Every structure is written in structure tokens, then in C-alpha cells.
């Protein structure tokens, strides 16, 4: 092989090496991107179970499952807890929308990170579809006036409908109102013991 032949071989070799480097960099980028997306999903779910939201859950849990004859102090604490939870779901919905928008695959269901997030939050959303509606009703009864929350419930509604469309949450649940007889929530189970 002449000098020209060897330089052609060397040229092909360096091109192959350059392509391999690009492939490795691309694989590393995809792996890091995937890790970051799952981390975002995990952090969004963490927001539901830590800090002020965890404290708010204790109060709304009492409103959801217990008898409520609260005084004005209890009503104020209940309303704070109610809105704390709605705003938490608002942050989750915004984070989920951002993850979904940047999904490379998965169509309307999103990629693995979105599906991971949905699987983590589905039962919480189902629980609070009835729970927040019930808390809302009891707080309004105790306060003698309606709870004004038309904007605060919008994101929760988006989240609920997305999870219902994905088959992860029962279709009977509605936003801001318990559907009554058809509601699958545990709070309606009559104890037989
Ligand atoms: Zn219900
Ligand atoms: Zn319930």
C-alpha cells in the first residue's frame, strides 16, 4: 500500500474514533438526562410527604375522616392546610407538565420518568380528590360560607384528569366535590365491626 493508501486508512480510523467518541458522549448525556428526570420526579413526590405539607395532611386527614365541629381557630388551621395541599398539587402538576413537555418518547403518557411520577402520586390524587372536597364542605359548613378557591383547584383538576385518562385513578372522582354514592373513597365505607 502506498503513502496515499495508508493516509486514507488513517483517515477512516480517526473518523471511526471520532464517531465512537460522539456515541459515548451521547450515551452519557442520555444517561445523565434520564437520571436527572427521575430525580425530578422523586423530588416532586417528596414534596407530598415532607415539611409543611406533611403537617397539612394530618389536619386534612382529620377533616376527611373525622367529625368536624371546629371553632374559628380550627377553621383557619383547616383552610391553611387545605390550600397548602392544593398548592403542593399545583407544584406537582407544573413539574409533571414540564417533564411531559420534554419527553422524547412515550407519547401522551410521557417517558419512564413521567410514568414513574404518575405511579407515585396516583393514590394521593385519588385520596385527595374526595379528601379535599370533603374538607372543603366541612370547612364551609363550620365557617358558614363557601371556600373561595376557583383558581387553586385548576391544577389539581388537570392532574386528576391526566391520571384518570391514564387509567391510574378511578373516573368517579371529581374536582372540589365528592360524587357521593359513586365515590370509591374509603371514607364512605361503613364499618361493620
Ligand atoms: Zn367521597
Ligand atoms: Zn373520602
What is the model's pLDDT at position 150?
A: 84
pLDDT tens by residue, 36-51 = 999 999 999 999 999 9
Among the bound ligands, the one closest to the CA of 65:
2
- Give 67 Cα–ligand 1 centroid separation in angstroms: 15
Residue tagged 365515590 (cell numbers): 183
Query: Cell numbers of 3, please?
Result: 503513502
What is the model's pLDDT at position 65?
A: 94
What is the model's pLDDT at position 1?
A: 64
- Give 171 Cα–ligand 2 centroid separation in angstroms: 14
| Structural domain spans, the chain | 36-188
Residue 24: count of CB within 10 angstroms of its CB: 10
- Give 179 Cα–ligand 1 centroid separation in angstroms: 6
Of 55, 47, 61, which Cα lies nearest the Cα of 128? 61
What is the model's pLDDT at position 95?
A: 97
- Give 64 Cα–ligand 2 centroid separation in angstroms: 6
What is the model's pLDDT at position 69?
A: 79
Distance, CA of 27 to CA of 158 (rounded, Å): 34
- Give 149 Cα–ligand 2 centroid separation in angstroms: 19
What is the model's pLDDT at position 158?
A: 96
Among the bound ligands, the one closest to the CA of 174:
1
- Give 44 Cα–ligand 1 centroid separation in angstroms: 25
What is the model's pLDDT at position 53?
A: 96
Instruction: Extract the residue ranges of the chain whose pLDDT is less than 70.
Output: 1, 190-193
pTM of the shown model: 0.85
- Give 36 Cα–ligand 2 centroid separation in angstroms: 35
Q: Which residues have CB less than 5 Å away from ligand 1 (the ion)?
A: 130, 178, 183, 185
**Is the distance from CB of 168 to CB of 118 less than 8 angstroms?**
yes
Amino acid at each position: 500500500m502506498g503513502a496515499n493508501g495508508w493516509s486514507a486508512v488513517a483517515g477512516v480510523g480517526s473518523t471511526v474514533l471520532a464517531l465512537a467518541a460522539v456515541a459515548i458522549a451521547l450515551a452519557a448525556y442520555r444517561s445523565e438526562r434520564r437520571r436527572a428526570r427521575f430525580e425530578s420526579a422523586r423530588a416532586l413526590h417528596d414534596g407530598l410527604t415532607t415539611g409543611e405539607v406533611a403537617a397539612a395532611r394530618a389536619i386534612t386527614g382529620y377533616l376527611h375522616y373525622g367529625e368536624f365541629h371546629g371553632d374559628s381557630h380550627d377553621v383557619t388551621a383547616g383552610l391553611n392546610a387545605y390550600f397548602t395541599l392544593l398548592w403542593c398539587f399545583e407544584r406537582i402538576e407544573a413539574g409533571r407538565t414540564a417533564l411531559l413537555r420534554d419527553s422524547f418518547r412515550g407519547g401522551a403518557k410521557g417517558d419512564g420518568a413521567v410514568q414513574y411520577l404518575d405511579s407515585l402520586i396516583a393514590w394521593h390524587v385519588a385520596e385527595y380528590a374526595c379528601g379535599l372536597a370533603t374538607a372543603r364542605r366541612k370547612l364551609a359548613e363550620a365557617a358558614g360560607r363557601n371556600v373561595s378557591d376557583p383558581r387553586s383547584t385548576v391544577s389539581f383538576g388537570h392532574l386528576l384528569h391526566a391520571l384518570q385518562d391514564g387509567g391510574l385513578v378511578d373516573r368517579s372522582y371529581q374536582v372540589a366535590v365528592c360524587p357521593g354514592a359513586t365515590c370509591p373513597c374509603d371514607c364512605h365505607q361503613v364499618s361493620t365491626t
